[in-house]
Amino acid sequence: MLRVFSVLFAGVSAAHLVFTLVHKRAFQDLSKICLVPLLGAAYVLGAEHPAVPILLALLFGWGGDIFLLKISDVRFFRLGLASFLLGHLCYIPSFLSAAGELHSTALLVSAAAALPLAFAIHSFIKPEKAMNLPVIIYEIIILLMSLSALQLLISRRDGWGLLVFAGSLCFLVSDTLLAYCTFRTKPKHGDFFVMLFYIAAQAGIIRGMMFVL
């Protein structure tokens, strides 16, 4: 059954990206809301001991997907932002728990590197004044999520840890592109690249965590 849901997820992901490219909005929305449930089913079937925080992260991610179907409405954008933020907050303890010990030197170096990166991302997306603080908070949380994934990679030093860390970086790229498309002029095929990195992010994290916890 794991293979069945994995294939279904891959197929729906590919279909969603095609619908996004050709601007078939109804099919695009329908396929989008199917992504996380399929990935969640694959995780439950593939993980030896499915972790509640991972399932909650997926649930909040699914909520974010649904809210952002109406991204042009600032209320739904804020709800989507909050939902994804809660999802990242669920991923952080999961990664740290799987890492076991905290590598303080790596944490200090990566945190120092993350500060100019956060400043660069904020300057790149230039959120409107009313959204400035929420976006800053979100940036801090997603960077903490990625730093936690790096701790996991350092502890395990295997392909699964690398997959989780790569997924966290894809999340960072996806959310940065999403914010840019929301607050600045949307580039051609912007939605496509947002979803391409988002799908890679969730799939990488969940696939890796199947064999980490």
pTM for the predicted model, two decimal places:
0.94
- For residue 193, give both structure tokens: 């690249």
* Cβ neighbour number for residue 73 with a 10 Å cutoff: 12
Distance, in Å, from the CA atom of 122 to the CA atom of 172, rounded to the nearest integer, reads 12
User: Length of the chain in residues, anyone?
Assistant: 213
pLDDT tens, residue by residue, 115-163: 899 889 988 888 888 888 989 999 999 999 999 999 999 998 889 999 9
pLDDT tens, residue by residue, 26-46: 999 999 999 999 999 999 999
Distance, in Å, from the CA atom of 162 to the CA atom of 45, rounded to the nearest integer, reads 22
